[in-house]
A = this chain, B = another copy of it.
Amino acid sequence: MSGIKLTYVKGRGFGESGRLIMAAAGVEWEEAHLTDKAQFEKLKQDGLLMFGQVPLLQIDGLNIVQSRAIIQYLANKFDMAGKTAADKAKVNMIIEGAKDFGIFHGIAFHPKESQAGLIAENKKKAENRYLPAFEKLLSGSNSGYFVGDSLTAADVLVFEDLLFMEDYLPGLTASYPKLQVFFEKMKGNPKLSAYLSSDKRFPIPDDKYVAEVIKVLY
């Protein structure tokens, strides 16, 4: 084992970016799932959670919390942060765009009757801002990756969003040819594909998961 352990609830949420980066890097990690409040309280009492929140990534003797700090650490460790200062800046800009575009993550936590409206609203945001921006970025790429000539955390974060979007709005990437090619290329990545078809990958959030998250974390 690599000795890497990710502690989170049993879903994608704020843990998924880290999981996808580790999957893309081809490393193994252990998962620990919080399924009751007492486990969560114990982690807090043990002083492992700097701000009393998960996910927690235990790696190289460190207890890393905050999804973006996890992303940065893993991206640096696995050479997915960009090679030059300029590339690193671009990777970070795209990571942040992808984070803002993470608008499909929270839908299941809203009341059923408002979800269709939210999906429609998010479709507009996707079409007006994020999908054209990603398409433009890929149009300037020779490698088919967002930055430089190899896979970076920027690719992984955009891929994470596209997968989530696909769950709610299948086929929406089809109008963006470069992004569509990118999406297929990422789906075809053997390491990512192995992860996505493994039992480590969680499905789209359902009522049971939402209830469990609320019970455990709130």
Contact = CB atoms under 8 A, between A and B. Distances in A.
Interface of A: 50-52, 60-62, 64-69, 72-73, 76-77, 85-86, 88-89, 92-97, 100, 129-130, 133, 137
A73 B77 CA distance: 18
A51 B129 contact: yes
Contacts of A68: 68, 92, 96
Contact of A62 (B60, B77, B89, B137): B89
Given A68-B92, A73-B85, 16 more contacts: A50-B133, A51-B129, A60-B86, A64-B93, A66-B92, A66-B96, A67-B96, A69-B89, A69-B92, A69-B93, A69-B96, A72-B92, A73-B88, A73-B89, A73-B92, A76-B88
22 contacts: A50-B93, A50-B97, A50-B133, A51-B100, A51-B129, A51-B133, A52-B133, A60-B86, A61-B86, A62-B86, A64-B93, A66-B92, A66-B93, A66-B96, A66-B97, A67-B96, A68-B68, A68-B92, A68-B96, A73-B88, A73-B89, A73-B92
Contacts of A86: 60-62
A49 to B, nearest CB: 9
Contacts of A137: 50
A52 B129 contact: yes
Contacts of A76: 85, 88
A179 to B, nearest CB: 15
Nearest to A97: B51
Contact of A85 (B52, B60, B94): B60
